Amino acid sequence: MAKKIIRVISRAANGTLRTKEYENFDEIAELHSQIGIDDCSTDLSLRGLPLFRGLVGPMPESKTTVCYESPDVFEFLTKEWSQASTKRRRRVSAKIAEVVTEELSEPAVKPNFVPIPKMILSPLFDVATVNR
């Protein structure tokens, strides 16, 4: 199993995001006091990880990375994520939809129809007996 990387994201003095990575929780515990452990995360790999005062997390970033964020960074990134517009995609391209529409407008099974010659359609012949 690969080692977990603990990433802490906070805001620098000039307003930019500052990311620092740690290999174990001891280094983070020197900077932030531990207030408990995560026992209710829906991601089972996060259960049992420490909770720190002043940090939001733990949050999964990948299989090997756990992320903690300062509250202002968490709020900023959440707003940015929620306001990001996604480009709407069509499920079927216009050309494919046009071909499918044309195929659907034509009958799937063409009737096996042979027209009756005009000379047979005379008042002397009964149409019902001719088609037999």
pLDDT for 64: 86
Model pLDDT for residues 7-37, shown as the tens digit of each residue: 988 888 888 888 888 888 888 888 888 888 8
Q: What is the dihedral of CA 95, 96, 98, 100, to 10 degrees?
A: 170
> Whose structure tokens read 């790999």?
45
Of 73-82, 94-103, 121-130, least confident by mean pLDDT is 121-130
- Whether pTM exceeds 0.85: no
What sign does the CA torsion over 14, 15, 16, 17 have? positive
pLDDT of res. 76:
86
* pLDDT tens digits, one per residue of 59-88: 888 888 888 888 888 888 888 888 877 777
Dihedral sign of CA atoms 81, 86, 61, 36 in order: positive
CA-to-CA distance for 48 and 51, rounded, in angstroms?
9
